[in-house]
Amino acid sequence: MIVIASHNRSKSREIEQLLRGGLTDLPVEIRLLADYPDAPPPPEETADTYIGNALLKARACAAFTQAISLADDAGLEIDALNGQPGLHSRRFAGEHTPFPVKMGILLEMLKDVPLERRTARFRCAVAVALPNGAEHTFEDTLEGRIAEAPRGQAGFGYDPIFYVPELDCTLAELPSEFKNRISHRAKVMRRMIPVLRQLLGAPDRLSQSQTPR
């Protein structure tokens, strides 16, 4: 069994889809921590790196469930804002502030910045923790720019303002099955899948062509 250590159902479902795509030939149960009625609240994200925060969540979940536990931590880094909101992306402008409001604040901060200077990236770290204390981590990014206005209805978080020049659209304009091939979370999960397969006692079936370079 693998437990996704998140109380964010939108993110958990995205991770679950990515996991099932890489483990489709295995009879593995995938559960969400949010489905446990007595699940403890998520730990405070006190680390100074994405990997550190992901480990905090994965360790707490493994201790509670006694199962292979997977957690991620991600953030939006905007170069013109010196990397903000970065590690504090979820808590930017207040933890409970709706994302449309957060995006509006960021767009106002960037109102005088031309599109070519609105470079940004999503960074995602994934951690897997086992009850025996073993841990595995990976990190990856998706480069893009900040759009001048939100676009698209799909995705979640900052997806509507994250513009991917190569595709001429924001992440929120992409169907989920396509986003799950190119996103920062998809890239890092592709690197983690072979580790999970080994932990589950299965051979790595990913071909060289599927491995990020």
In angstroms, the CA 130 to CA 136 distance is 9
In angstroms, the CA 86 to CA 79 distance is 10
For this structure, is 73 an active site residue? yes
Q: Please give the angle made by the CA atoms of 201, 206 and 212, to the nearest 5 degrees.
A: 125
Q: Which entry of 25, 35, 38, 73 is annotated as an active-site residue?
A: 73
Phi, psi of 133 (to 5 degrees): 100, -10
| Number of residues that this document lists for the chain | 213
Q: Which of 37, 213, 2 is nearest to 126 (CA)?
A: 2
Tokens linked to 101: 């409001």
Burial of 172 (0-12, 13-18, 19+ CB in 10 A): buried
Catalytic positions, please?
A: 73
